[in-house]
Amino acid sequence: MKTLTKIGAGIITFLIVAVMALPTLLHHLGLHPEYQGETYSAVGKRALVITTSHDTLNAPGETTGKKTGVMASEMTHPYYTFLDAGMQVDVASIKGGEIPVDPDTLKFMIISPEDKRYLVDPDLQAKVKNSLHIDDVDFTQYDTVFMAGGWGAAYDMGYSEVLGQKISEAYYGNQDTIIGSVCHGALGLINASDDQGNPIIRGRAITGVTDKQVKELGIGLTPMHPETELRKVGVKYESQTAFLDFFATHVSVDSEQRFVTGQNQNSGLEAAHKIVELLTQRQQAQN
């Protein structure tokens, strides 16, 4: 009996240690890599972070399902990168008001340091609670406009004509504005067009989450998949792969350096830092 008790205790101890080690293991495999590059200051610049307003993971036509929204890190990584660079950062969403944050993305296995910072940051919490409505925001007043992803974005960003129009206005109305996205946030680019009705991202190097990652995660019920939709509008789609694309990462910068896009949840941090770097270089060139 004592032997069985010892074996049972040993198994329980092993399971506890294994579970506690899971976040470190996932990080080493490639989840939320730390940014290793040079950091820059962009004091006086303005950034707008845009998120989904959709909060339910369901098939088209259904009204119930698992709670979803923006992936926390895809909002917090760019937000704090811009903020720490000295920028003024506003937060908006498709419908305005309270932003749904996917609860699964705040679980201890995958929560990032920036997510933890958000959970004790009353300023960002207030912005998430009372986000700006994109209809009321002049995108041309920002030095960068960055669209976060998450499963919720598959339901509204690629369908929003207002978002497409305002991305177009930012691109043509302010030649210095850099437009960024990560993961499903790239869907916000597909309705942006020139005065002839052609997609402004056609022929550009753009990335977003791969169809392979969507398939591997078993979330095929969402109405839009970034790789598929981006290819439809004729982008030069780029990505990296891994044994599971959940652990891959890639950042694309188009030749004009107006669009900086991150492949998935691992890419938002680097994408945001790249935007700050480009803004700094432009400022230095102007001086």
Q: Is residue 28 part of a domain?
A: no
> Can you give the pLDDT at residue 1?
55
- Cβ contacts of residue 39 below 8 Å, gap of 6+? 84, 85, 273, 276
State the residue range of the domain holding 149. Answer: 42-286
d(CA 208, CA 259): 12
Q: Is residue 129 part of a domain?
A: yes
Q: Is residue 30 part of a domain?
A: no
Q: What does each of the 287 residues of the chain score in pLDDT, given as a tens digit?
A: 555 454 544 455 434 444 556 899 999 999 999 999 999 999 999 999 999 999 999 997 888 899 999 999 999 999 999 999 999 999 999 999 999 999 999 999 999 999 999 999 999 999 999 999 999 999 999 999 999 999 999 999 999 999 999 999 999 999 999 999 999 999 999 999 999 999 999 999 999 999 999 999 999 999 999 999 999 999 999 999 999 999 999 999 999 999 999 999 999 999 999 999 999 999 888 87
Q: Is residue 99 part of a domain?
A: yes
Amino acid letter for position 115? D
Query: What total number of domains does the chain contain?
Result: 1
Partners of 88 in the β-ladder: 46
> Can you give the pLDDT at residue 5?
55
Partners of 67 in the β-ladder: 56
d(CA 108, CA 22): 9
Q: Is residue 2 part of a domain?
A: no
Given a contact cutoff of 8 angstroms between Cβ atoms, the answer to whether 238 and 252 are in contact is yes
Strand locations in 104-247 (E):
132-133, 144-147, 178-182, 205-206, 236-237
Partners of 92 in the β-ladder: 50, 132
Q: Is residue 3 part of a domain?
A: no
CATH of the domain at 281: 3.40.50.880
Partners of 27 in the β-ladder: none
Q: Is residue 5 part of a domain?
A: no
> Can you give the pLDDT at residue 111?
97
What DSSP string describes 35-95? P-S-----TT-EEEEEE----EE--TT----EE--B-HHHHHHHHHHHHHTT-EEEEEESS
Q: Is residue 36 part of a domain?
A: no
> Can you give the pLDDT at residue 19?
53
Given the structure tokens 């009321």, which residue do they identify?
A: 136
> Which two tokens mark 162?
């207002």
Given the structure tokens 């830092």, which residue do they identify?
A: 273
> Can you give the pLDDT at residue 3?
57
> Which two tokens mark 148?
């976060």
> Which two tokens mark 135?
């209809």
- Cβ contacts of residue 2 below 8 Å, gap of 6+? none
